[in-house]
Amino acid sequence: MERSRGESDDNFPAGGGAVPMVTIKTEKEIDLIRESSKIVADVLRLLEKQITHGITTKELDDLAEDFIQSSGGIPAFKGYGNDRHNLYPASICVSVDDEVVHGIPGKRVLKEGEIVSVDVGVLKNGFFGDGASTFPVGKVSEGKARLMKITREALDKGVEQAVEGNYLHDISSAVQHHVEAAGFSVVRDLVGHGIGRELHEDPPVPNYGKARTGLKLKEGMTLAVEPMVNFGIYKVHTAPDGWTIQTTDGEPSAHYEHTVVVRQHKAEILTQ
């Protein structure tokens, strides 16, 4: 999700703004988030098999929409947005190469060597699940392959920190460390988020920050952890369509996301 405006890099995420309203979910609520998240994971597995040279991003969107609807879910992203004149028009986000996130599916034909980030959100029984993965189209360069591997690992390292007694920015710091040690950069303008009855709940979950700071994590918090990692510099901008986020330097970017539950000893991943 987009980081809210008016926060400088200095005071974010350490504080200064409003106190986040974080809810603890009951096991019944978690069961429903698990159900929506399972559909998300199934869609990602379905699309992974379809991602080859020649398919259009719109074809991927149609496949996802059909699958979500036949599972009794609603595509969470369709109709989402603050600008009522430019609501998000599709069921999934498909972001290719230098597109970081929020790419709108359309006539674009995928080509061998590209990397494709697919983001899926599902609403079912009043609860959301959210997940994303980056896939190669055929054989990709060593650099892109390494970018995907490091981003995937950064997600795992972040999720590992989502246990009771840790702090929110333990997640952020673990992600940032892994990414920067590999020579890549984390996007700052977009962050992960709480999730449940809403797609985007408190707290914001940045992919950078200082360990042992921020909110204290408690069992039953549900979070979408989603590192967005750039091959080059961290800077991004919004394309003229008002949605697609692109790297400013034109270098590729990768994105992985899980919906997770904070647990006592080991985070529970709902989108796998």
As a whole number of angstroms, the distance between CA 170 and CA 94 comes to 29
As a whole number of angstroms, the distance between CA 45 and CA 72 comes to 18
Contact 78, 89 (CB under 8 A): yes
Question: 65, 114, 130, 268: which one contacts Co ion (CB under 5 A)?
Answer: 130
The answer to whether 12 contacts ligand MF3 (rule: CB under 6 A) is no
64 binds, among Co ion, ligand MF3, none (CB under 5 to 8 A by kind): none
As a whole number of angstroms, the distance between CA 90 and CA 102 comes to 10
DSSP, res 151: H
- For the CB of residue 52, give the shortest distance to Co ion in the complex, in Å: 26
- For the CB of residue 1, give the shortest distance to ligand MF3 in the complex, in Å: 4
The answer to whether 201 contacts Co ion (rule: CB under 5 A) is no
77 binds, among ligand MF3, Co ion, none (CB under 5 to 8 A by kind): ligand MF3
What residues between 179 and 218 interact with ligand MF3 by CB under 6 A? Answer: 193
Residue 59 has a CB neighbour count (10 Å cut-off) of 15
Q: Which stretch binds Co ion (CB under 5 A): 43-51, 105-113, 123-131, 167-175?
A: 123-131
As a whole number of angstroms, the distance between CA 46 and CA 56 comes to 15
Question: 29, 98, 99, 119: which one contacts ligand MF3 (CB under 6 A)?
Answer: 119
Contact 102, 93 (CB under 8 A): yes
3-state secondary structure of 85: coil
The answer to whether 22 contacts ligand MF3 (rule: CB under 6 A) is no
80 binds, among ligand MF3, Co ion, none (CB under 5 to 8 A by kind): ligand MF3
The answer to whether 93 contacts ligand MF3 (rule: CB under 6 A) is yes
Question: 25, 40, 47, 77: which one contacts ligand MF3 (CB under 6 A)?
Answer: 77
As a whole number of angstroms, the distance between CA 98 and CA 116 comes to 10
What residues between 220 and 239 interact with Co ion by CB under 5 A? Answer: 224
The answer to whether 127 contacts ligand MF3 (rule: CB under 6 A) is no
Per-residue burial over 228-260, b if 16 or more Cβ lie within 10 Å, else e, is: bbbbbebebeeeeeebbbbbeeebbbbbbbbbb
Q: Where do contacts with ligand MF3 occur on this chain (CB under 6 A)?
A: 1, 77, 80, 88, 93, 102, 119, 121, 130, 132, 193, 224, 226, 257
